[in-house]
């Protein structure tokens, strides 16, 4: 019976695959290199035995794949934002959430430093978006418990720029992170290679990518969105997309645009719409061949 196995990390041409028998060190068949395909952390694979050693014979269909960080089959992306120092940049947050949604990944916003400033304005902006927003502070552990619940049964990662409190959040959420990753790294051979690789470890019944987070710039540069897809990355637009007067409406200047009307009526927050317009301009410069897809 063939068992689906998960790549936990790949480095130096070796892939470390979690199986029912434990963690196995494997190489990939040469056919992948010939086809220009690289197995990624998070991939589900089929193994065979060659010369008495396990090899990756097939990469099972991916739900999604990111170029940077190199990871496949991500389910959840926690987008961490600080309420103060630095203040939240809504354009950056909207870009991160849109990239996730474009790839079939569920974004979850996590507001940090809410003991210093309340995220009321942030909650207002995302009230109609359908994107969950959690508020965390040093005195409140309720959001941490919610995050643990969300991780269960999922492959997750955290993103957030420097200074937003991502490391503090991860340390509170996973106080044994250093110990766990150290134990896994010993098995996986970290230290023998200088290239930073994505590594997965088990937590709360799910998997967390030890990046320990990646920047918005990484995501934006390597995971572009086609302009035709952008409207689908703003969930609050969905009820109005079929109500526009013209097919192929870009929701910018067209007459009879139901999305613009919804903004005027207060059903879509104007800041979200303004960021959609800014992102549309950037997306218009992307060619089909540049698109990484899913």
Is the peptide bond prior to 69 cis by the omega test (within 30 degrees of 0)? yes
Domain boundary among 183, 217, 251: 217
Burial pattern 139-167, b for ≥16 Cβ within 10 A else e, equals eeeebbeebbebbeebbbbbbbbeebbbb
Question: Phi/psi zone of residue 204: left (φ > 0), alpha (ψ -120 to 50 degrees), beta?
Answer: left
Mean pLDDT value of segment 148-161? 92
Please tell me the least confidently modeled range out of 93-97, 240-244, 281-285.
Answer: 281-285
134-145 residue pLDDT tens: 998 877 788 899
Determine phi and psi for 13, rounding to 5 degrees.
85, 0
53-99 residue pLDDT tens: 999 999 999 999 988 778 999 999 999 998 988 888 999 999 999 99
pLDDT for the residue numbered 139: 76
Number of domains comprising the chain: 3
Residue-averaged pLDDT of the chain: 86
Q: Domain of 123?
A: 66-217
Tracing tokens 């009230």 back to the chain, one arrives at 127
Percentage above 70 pLDDT, the chain: 86
| Distance (Å, whole) CA 33 – CA 186 | 27
Q: What is the CATH number of the domain that holds 51?
A: 2.40.50.140
User: Both tokens of residue 196?
Assistant: 């930073």
Domain boundary among 173, 197, 217: 217
Give the 3-state DSSP-derived string for 52-77, with helices as H, strands as E and coil as C: CEEEEEEECCCCCEECCCCEECCCEE
Q: Are residues 200 and 250 in the same domain?
A: no
Q: Are residues 122 and 19 in the same domain?
A: no
Q: Are residues 148 and 101 in the same domain?
A: yes
In the three-class reduction of DSSP (H, G, I as helix; E, B as strand; rest coil), residue 251 is classed as coil
Tracing tokens 């919804």 back to the chain, one arrives at 262
Count of beta carbons in the 10 Å neighbourhood of residue 277: 12
Q: Give the residue, 164 or 73, on which the prediction is more confident.
A: 73
Q: Are residues 95 and 197 in the same domain?
A: yes
Q: Are residues 209 and 108 in the same domain?
A: yes
| Distance (Å, whole) CA 84 – CA 282 | 28
Q: Are residues 154 and 108 in the same domain?
A: yes
Q: Which residues contact 66 (CB under 8 A, 6 or more apart)?
A: 72, 74, 103, 219, 222, 223
Q: Are residues 142 and 237 in the same domain?
A: no
Q: Are residues 208 and 79 in the same domain?
A: yes
| Distance (Å, whole) CA 221 – CA 283 | 11
Domain boundary among 15, 31, 61: 61
Q: What is the CATH number of the domain that holds 107?
A: 3.40.50.300
In the three-class reduction of DSSP (H, G, I as helix; E, B as strand; rest coil), residue 256 is classed as coil
Q: Are residues 114 and 246 in the same domain?
A: no
Q: Count the alpha carbons within 13 Å of 257 in the hemisphere toward its beta carbon.
A: 15
**Contact of 17 with 26, CB cutoff 8 Å:** yes
In the three-class reduction of DSSP (H, G, I as helix; E, B as strand; rest coil), residue 111 is classed as strand
Q: Give the residue, 173 or 177, on which the prediction is more confident.
A: 173
Q: Are residues 76 and 148 in the same domain?
A: yes
Residue 104 has pLDDT above 80, yes or no: yes
Q: What is the CATH number of the domain that holds 281?
A: 1.10.40.50
Q: Are residues 54 and 86 in the same domain?
A: no
Q: Are residues 72 and 173 in the same domain?
A: yes
């Amino acid at each position: 019976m063939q068992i689906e196995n998960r790549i936990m990390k790949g480095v130096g041409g070796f892939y470390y695959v979690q199986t029912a028998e434990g963690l196995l060190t494997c190489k990939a068949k040469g056919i992948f290199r010939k086809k220009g395909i690289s197995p990624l952390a998070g991939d589900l694979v089929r193994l065979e035995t060659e010369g008495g050693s396990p090899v990756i014979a097939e990469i099972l269909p991916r739900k999604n794949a990111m170029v940077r960080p190199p990871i496949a089959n991500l389910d959840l992306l926690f987008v961490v934002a600080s309420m103060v120092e630095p203040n939240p940049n809504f354009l950056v947050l909207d870009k991160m959430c849109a990239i996730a949604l474009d790839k079939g990944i569920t974004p979850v916003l996590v507001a940090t430093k809410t003991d210093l400033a309340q995220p009321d304005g942030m909650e207002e902006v995302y009230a109609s978006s359908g994107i969950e927003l959690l508020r965390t502070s040093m005195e409140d552990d309720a959001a941490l418990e919610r995050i643990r619940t969300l991780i269960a049964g999922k492959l997750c990662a955290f993103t957030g720029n420097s200074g937003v409190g991502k490391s503090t959040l991860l340390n509170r959420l996973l106080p044994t992170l250093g110990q766990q990753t150290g134990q896994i790294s010993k098995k996986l051979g970290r230290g023998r290679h200088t290239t930073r690789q994505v590594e997965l470890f088990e937590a709360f019944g799910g998997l967390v990518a030890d990046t320990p987070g990646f920047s918005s710039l990484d995501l934006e540069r390597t995971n572009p969105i086609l302009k035709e897809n952008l409207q689908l990355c703003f969930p609050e637009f969905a009820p109005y997309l079929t109500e526009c007067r013209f097919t192929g409406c870009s929701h910018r200047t067209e007459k009879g645009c139901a999305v613009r009307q919804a903004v005027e009526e207060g059903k879509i927050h104007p800041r979200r719409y303004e960021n959609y317009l800014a992102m549309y301009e950037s997306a218009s410069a992307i060619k089909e061949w540049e698109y990484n897809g899913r």
